């Protein structure tokens, strides 16, 4: 929020000296001072409009950034790294080195929004360095919500040992993880963009 301290210009009124006319004495009423000059009023109004515009723009930007999709990678429930749609669009994927973890560790990738899309169906696609699709994983239905809702989980988990087997089977050193939302209007945003790169020594 932006505040503007506006000074009120006060001008004391006195009558001109003239024959038979005395200087007028200032009244104790609220009207003892003249109103600010017209150009001062204009400046004050411009300041007010500018402050209002900046405030609304800031609020709009904050609202926009609040709706950006983002992801968090955890190991055994502890946050390891996170990213958002802006980083993905500018080709700055998250990087994960599996050699730091044990086979019995669990790597989980969460998808977050504030508009419910994370509870719809979406996919993580594993690709190699030639952009060939290796595996596709879909978020499962969240059974904890019962049969009333068809909402899905907002994460997919992988055992580190399982991921190492995928590397060995494909004789690869890196897996490029891409995100594919269910909403067709959003799919073009993520097409060919890497969400994260998982590597192994």
Which residues is 155 bridged to in the sheet?
Answer: 110
**Sheet order of strands, 133-138 included:** 94-97, 194-199, 174-181, 122-127, 133-138
Q: Compute the distance between CA of residue 32 and CA of residue 173 in angstroms, rounded to an integer.
A: 84
Of residues 196 and 63, the one with the higher pLDDT is: 196
39 and 59 within one domain: yes
Q: How many domains does the chain divide into? A: 2
125 and 80 within one domain: yes
Q: Cβ(129)–Cβ(176) under 8 Å?
A: yes
Q: Whole-number mean pLDDT of the chain?
A: 77
88 and 8 within one domain: no
Span 171-186, average pLDDT = 92
Residue of 1, 9, 2 whose CA lies nearest to 42: 9
182 and 86 within one domain: yes
Instruction: Give tens-digit pLDDT for 125-163.
Output: 999 999 999 999 999 998 887 666 678 999 999 999 999
Domain range for 62: 1-66
79 and 126 within one domain: yes
Instruction: Give tens-digit pLDDT for 145-155.
Output: 766 667 899 99
98 and 167 within one domain: yes
165 and 88 within one domain: yes
Taking the CA atoms of the chain, what radius of gyration do you get in angstroms?
Answer: 32
22 and 106 within one domain: no
At 116, the pLDDT band (50, 70, 90 cuts) reads confident
């Amino acid at each position: 929020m932006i505040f503007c301290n506006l000074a009120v210009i006060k001008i004391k009124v006195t009558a001109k000296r003239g024959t038979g006319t005395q200087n007028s004495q200032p009244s104790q009423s609220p009207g003892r001072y003249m109103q600010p000059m017209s150009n001062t009023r204009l400046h004050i109004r411009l300041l007010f409009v500018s402050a209002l515009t900046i405030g609304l723009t800031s609020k709009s930007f904050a609202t926009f950034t609040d709706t950006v999709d983002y992801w968090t990678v955890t190991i055994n429930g502890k946050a390891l790294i996170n990213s958002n749609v802006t980083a993905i669009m500018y080709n700055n994927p998250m990087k994960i080195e599996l050699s730091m973890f044990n086979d019995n560790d669990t790597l989980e990738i969460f998808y977050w929004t504030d508009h419910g899309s994370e509870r719809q169906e979406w996919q993580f696609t594993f690709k190699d360095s030639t952009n060939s699709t290796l595996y596709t994983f879909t978020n499962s239905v969240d059974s904890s919500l019962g049969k009333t809702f068809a909402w899905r989980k907002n994460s997919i988990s992988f055992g580190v040992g399982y991921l190492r087997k995928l590397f060995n089977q494909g004789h690869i050193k890196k897996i490029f993880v891409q995100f594919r939302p269910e909403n067709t209007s959003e799919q073009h945003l993520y097409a060919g963009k890497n969400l994260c790169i998982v590597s192994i020594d």
